[in-house]
Amino acid sequence: MALAGPPPFSTVLDLVGGALDPERKLVERRLGDMQGMYAAPVPDERLDERVYLVSEIPVPIDEGNLLSSTTTIEPGTVGGEYHMTKGHFHAKLDRAEIYLTLAGEGRLVLATEEGEHAVEPMGRGTVNYVPGGWAHRSVNVGHGPLVFFAVFPADAGYDYKTIEEQGFPVLIVERDGAPEVLPNPRYRG
Amino acid sequence: MALAGPPPFSTVLDLVGGALDPERKLVERRLGDMQGMYAAPVPDERLDERVYLVSEIPVPIDEGNLLSSTTTIEPGTVGGEYHMTKGHFHAKLDRAEIYLTLAGEGRLVLATEEGEHAVEPMGRGTVNYVPGGWAHRSVNVGHGPLVFFAVFPADAGYDYKTIEEQGFPVLIVERDGAPEVLPNPRYRG
């Protein structure tokens, strides 16, 4: 049988800080990349500020393979909304994902195309199950970096556009120093 | 769209001991279940001894879903061979798996149907990539429990029979207190 995968290999994950050794593929998102995703506009002087970094263990994008990555979201807010990832559906909608939080405190916001939503806790040791069909966005509600390791099918793909157009049904905002879940007035699902 | 997955849910993983909270599905393997898998016979008085325990986060066995579990292998040897899992191919041969070691020291033994083999290290923080097409067995070569968290496609399935009949090309044995890789004289691949 012809095998689609790479040969077996190993990587070392720092179970506190999330760093991968060797460090392979990095994706950086700055506030300038998130324009329009927060309810408030991103101020010009903050466009270069890094919101999150994804460090991935790359494998061929074939059915059967699994992608894994560490995401680190810096603490902070934009107009009262906590720093967060863009969020996406999987292009192959039925593909699930598993998150393992290594550091920090967060909320995982999930939504279906029909507008159902869920908010799950993230903290050191939390394993979140992101079922197929649920868009997912992670939100750092703590004072330090939120760090999590994710595993998902390599052929899942990314649909960012639906979220860019519709938003999520809820926002996670800071109220008196604590996170609060509010309906998203701009949600167009 | 009809969604095959469960609703979103979370589980807490002890990042040192591997315990899952809530604890869901448990599979226990005793030495009596491993008869014929070690080069030496298992002595009668050790048949009830637990070799390993798998604690799984169950999800529907559908394409797109992901299974995850913690495996704990107790330290010890049988006729000089270190305690190990049975090992298996995935029934859907192209399905990969990702291991994250939380505690202990181990070796991951891998083999293709064509008899190619690989031995990868396992230690706290090690992420092993088990590509599709590779049978995999984990071996505890340390003095304490070997604990790892695994993620794999829910539809991967298990083929234990091929390994029961053929064995792996190599054995991991204790020699002067340290692990050594030896050819398996009974390998029938």
Is the pLDDT at A166 greater than 70? The verdict is: yes
| pLDDT recorded at residue B144 | 98
A17: contact with B, CB 8 A cutoff: no
Interface with chain B: mutation pick from A112, A120, A127, A152, highest number of B CBs within 10 Å: A127
Q: What is the pLDDT of residues B51-91, one digit of tens each?
A: 999 999 999 999 999 999 999 999 999 999 999 999 999 99
Is the pLDDT at A1 greater than 70? The verdict is: no
Helix (H) or strand (E) holding A103: strand A97-103
Q: What is the pLDDT of residues B6-40, one digit of tens each?
A: 899 999 999 999 999 999 889 999 999 999 999 99
Min CA distance, B59 vs chain A (Å)?
9
Is the pLDDT at B132 greater than 60? The verdict is: yes
Confidence band of B189 (pLDDT split at 50, 70, 90): confident
The percentage of chain B sitting over the pLDDT mark of 90, rounded to a whole number, equals 95
Range of lowest pLDDT (A86-90, A163-167, B2-6): B2-6
- Scanning A86-105 for CB atoms below 8 A from B yields 92-98, 100, 102
* Chain B residues touching residue A59 (CB < 8 angstroms): 96, 129, 131
B166: contact with A, CB 8 A cutoff: no
CB B101 within 8 A of CB B147: yes
Alpha-carbon distance of A146 to A102, in angstroms, equals 8
CB B139 within 8 A of CB B181: no
> Is A188 exposed, middle or buried (CB count within 10 Å of its CB: 0-12, 13-18, 19+)?
exposed
Is the pLDDT at A58 greater than 70? The verdict is: yes
Q: Which of B3, B124, B151 sits opposite A15 (nearest CB)?
A: B124
B15: contact with A, CB 8 A cutoff: yes
| pLDDT recorded at residue B25 | 85
Look up residue B85 and give its two tokens.
């899992």
B159: contact with A, CB 8 A cutoff: no
